[in-house]
Amino acid sequence: MTHLLAQFYERDLRKFIEEINLFQDEGNLWKTHGSIKNSSGNLALHIIGGCNYLIGTQLGQTGYVWDCGQDFLQKDVKRGELVAELEKLISMILEVLKNVEMKSEYPLIFDGARRSNCYVLTQLALHLNYHLGQVNYLRRVLE
């Protein structure tokens, strides 16, 4: 299961990077449309912060400190910086996953209960994929 999740995280984060790079107008990274209230840039920051904390700090003891609210308040971060942080995220996740015991209990309450690492990592991968779809939609509708 660990190897499969590693493949999914790497695949979807690489696709996320591709989507960010496909924006012809970098300013569109910070625009919203229709029912999607968060920009692609803010969704990228949310994935970067959330995964660095929930995977990096909680499972890999990286010490990353996350202020979730800032993910949606920051604006106009350069595309190159977003891409660099997503690239670092791939490396961190792949490294942490090498040492995770999937059946062990995740250190925090997650979705209102005690969960296994496998449950949390699967849920986070699904969350990443959901936001990847939003970014793809925003890119296509804004450009």
Q: Does domain 2-142 have CATH number 3.40.228.10?
A: no
pLDDT tens digits, one per residue of 35-74: 889 999 999 999 999 999 999 999 999 998 888 778 888 8
pLDDT tens digits, one per residue of 85-141: 999 999 999 999 999 999 999 999 999 999 999 999 999 999 999 999 999 999 999
Residue pair 79/29 in contact by the 8 Å Cβ criterion: yes
Taking the domains of the chain in order of start, what are their residue ranges? 2-142
pTM of this prediction? 0.94
pLDDT tops 80 at residue 18: yes
- Model pLDDT, residue 73: 81
C-alpha R_g of the chain: 15
Buried b or exposed e, range 74-84, using 16+ CB within 10 angstroms:
eeebeeeebbe
Buried b or exposed e, range 90-129, using 16+ CB within 10 angstroms:
bebbeebbeebeeeeebeeebeeeebebbbbbbebbeebe
